Structure 1
Amino acid sequence: MPKVTAAPVPVRGSGSGLVAVVAGHELTAFVGAALESAGARPVDADLTAEVLVAADLAGVARHGVVRLLPYVQGLLGGTINGAARPEIVRRYGDVTVIDAHHGLGQPALAFAVDRAVEQARVRGACAVSVQHSRHVGITAWYAGRAARGGAFGVITTRAAGSAGGAGAWWEGAVTSQFLMCVDRTGVNAARRAPSVARVGEGAVRPRLTLPVPVLEELGRIAALVKVTPVRALDRRRPTRSEDP
């Protein structure tokens, strides 16, 4: 299996110059199936797929399904622990430390957000640090999760060994720190606040476009882990908004 040493982020409209139109729910199902087949727990595979596709729906392709190949390679090669469950290992007053045990980053950070919201409701504010994680994807997704729980979240991430370049970001463990704040006097109001829509949410079965080289890579991943590939509903030239 080839070693991934840099983030392979294709340029939209590159290669054939065409983009493929795919259904968001089909892409999410495919990504989840690929991750599960590679060794991730089903619930973690589904959540990770949701976050990756949300990035593409939001136009943040760098954190979207182009990340799937190194995830699958990491799971198959053992550098990502597919059986990991995030665990609270220390508490210092309003500060909580969570160990992701080298699992997928998305489930670990989602777990951390939920714990932070619970603590913030009780204590007014809290901070959470996630250690020994992996790439977590688009941070706006987690801020939205916190907002739906009635909390304001500020999230920062740091890649271990990031001074080594893009390869270090891909292969090094990621430590994520974030702060949740809820005013003690506004807790009840926050609980009654309307929910905040998820990134990409609102459209019924939304469609999105992927550069054809990305779709072709997803096809190779499907063959590698033996799952049904995602189908293209159409292939066409990108519009002005889709081609930088």
Structure 2
Amino acid sequence: MTADHHRLIRPAAPADLEAVAGIYTHCVRHAVSTFEETPPPAEHWHQRLADLTDRGPPFLVAEVSGQVVGYACAGPWRPKPAYRHTAENSVHLSPQHLAHGHGTALLRALVDACARTGLRQLVAVIASPGNDASTALHRRLGFTEAGRLAAVGHKHGRWIDTLLMQLTLVPTPTTPAEGPTGTTGAPQWHPRPGGSRRSGLRRPGPRAVGSVGVRPERPVRAGHARPAALRPVPPAGPQE
């Protein structure tokens, strides 16, 4: 929890979700900061808060004089498990509270909280043109441009690009310091057991996640040569 004069940045609570839903509904209907076209129901926000609270990623709100004026959260960048070290961030503000530093305070607190979870990369997907303030905000916090996808969205009667911006929270080591897939002690995005395919952050348990989806080799019986496609490939020598 952080406070700056009259502004308080704190974890979201169920009582905040009506205000959060109202902020997002305005973005859906009047802006291109989200590609949603229909505001999600209230149950969506309760489920999202419960999911993130259970698994670890931050869901923060900015409060001014007792009123929620913005929120920021992080979610899985992609659902496949090898993306577990990377999250996508979202920051949305009430239209009456733009240009007062609330977005900067929210994103700074979100970056710090994500770093404490063990995440390594944050990715922002920003609509362009039409969201220049968000681009400037992320640039102030150290995000750099990683690429652009042209005309991938269509909203409010026009085609919209998405600008990808990226922030490295933890430098990637040149020598593996973890398990065979680099999972030991790292946050892991996985669907809930028996639930939907929606992914979330789950703290590591005793089971080695690096073994998921990896089929063990079958032993080769005596007198039978291993097929060429299954023979181990010798490590490559230095590249010229």
Same fold (TM over 0.5): no
Higher relative contact order at CA 8 Å, sep ≥6: structure 1 or structure 2?
1
Give the TM-score normalised by the residue count of structure 1.
0.29
Give the TM-score normalised by the residue count of structure 2.
0.29
Higher helix share: 1
